Chains A and B, each alone.
Chain A
Amino acid sequence: MEMLLMGAVLSMFGLAVTCLAFGAAARGEKRPEPAEGVKAAVPATRFFVSPPATQPRVPIEALLLQIENHVRLEQAAAECFLESPNAALLHSRTISPLVN
């Protein structure tokens, strides 16, 4: 009887130690909450404020001129190719800012 009680107490003690160890391990895995100061540093998205563009936008009139200039340069390049057809002239580089 005494042996049985001793076994039961030891089992309960072992179970308690296992629970404590598991609890400590689970607490250790939790991600730390960011500090209040760090939260404030992240810019909040605003309804009427669009995010800043990665590249400055070219005015549409300038863009249309660039397109026209590109067409002229491409025509000139194509005419050169037609005068003397060869692969090097066909794939000659352009100075057009539209593609550079």
Chain B
Amino acid sequence: MVNADLLKGLAEDEAERVLALGKRVVLTTGAELFHLGDQADCIYLVARGRIRLTLPMQVRSRDEDVMVEERSSGQTVGWSALIPPYRFTLTATAPLETEVIALPREALNQYFAAHPETGYAVSLNLSSVIGQRLQLFQAMWLREVQRMVELRCA
């Protein structure tokens, strides 16, 4: 787990100290890690298994959770815990038995205040995770708009 995307660039012992702030949570198949709109107090690193991120969509007048992204081992889930207003904007479930490390915001903030270099490195990694998500969804959104324009002009 010291190679997780959030801990890139940290020395192994430093990464271990950050991981020690969290606790391991095992999710059974189908279990929900967090729900859209919930208070976000922890950020999660996927240790093994997979996490499905979904958003509700109206399909034939029925509310259905539609998968928008999947995260696997070494990837970060739930960065809403570090970004105000600290509310989850997606629902996360485990499609198979999955283990995550839950890192509480309070513990991270205290540790980063005492170890600013670590806080800086983790912040850079977090920016990278958020930036990649933004770029990915920007491209996906533009492709959908392009299709809409083609349909309208057909």
Contacts and interface: CB of A to CB of B under 8 A. Distances in A.
Contacts of A94: 143
Contacts of B113: none
A74 B143 contact: yes
Given A60-B59, A78-B136, A71 B68 contact: yes
Interface residues of A, number: 17
Contacts of A60: 59-60, 62, 64
B136 A75 contact: yes
The interface residues of chain A, by DSSP majority, are classed as: helix
Given A64-B59, A91-B146, A82 B139 contact: yes
17 contacts: A60-B59, A63-B60, A67-B59, A67-B66, A68-B66, A71-B67, A71-B68, A74-B144, A75-B69, A77-B139, A77-B140, A77-B143, A78-B135, A78-B139, A78-B140, A82-B139, A90-B146
A40 B126 CA distance: 72
Contacts of B153: none
B143 A64 contact: no
A74 B147 CA distance: 12
Contact of B66 (A64, A74, A78, A90): A64
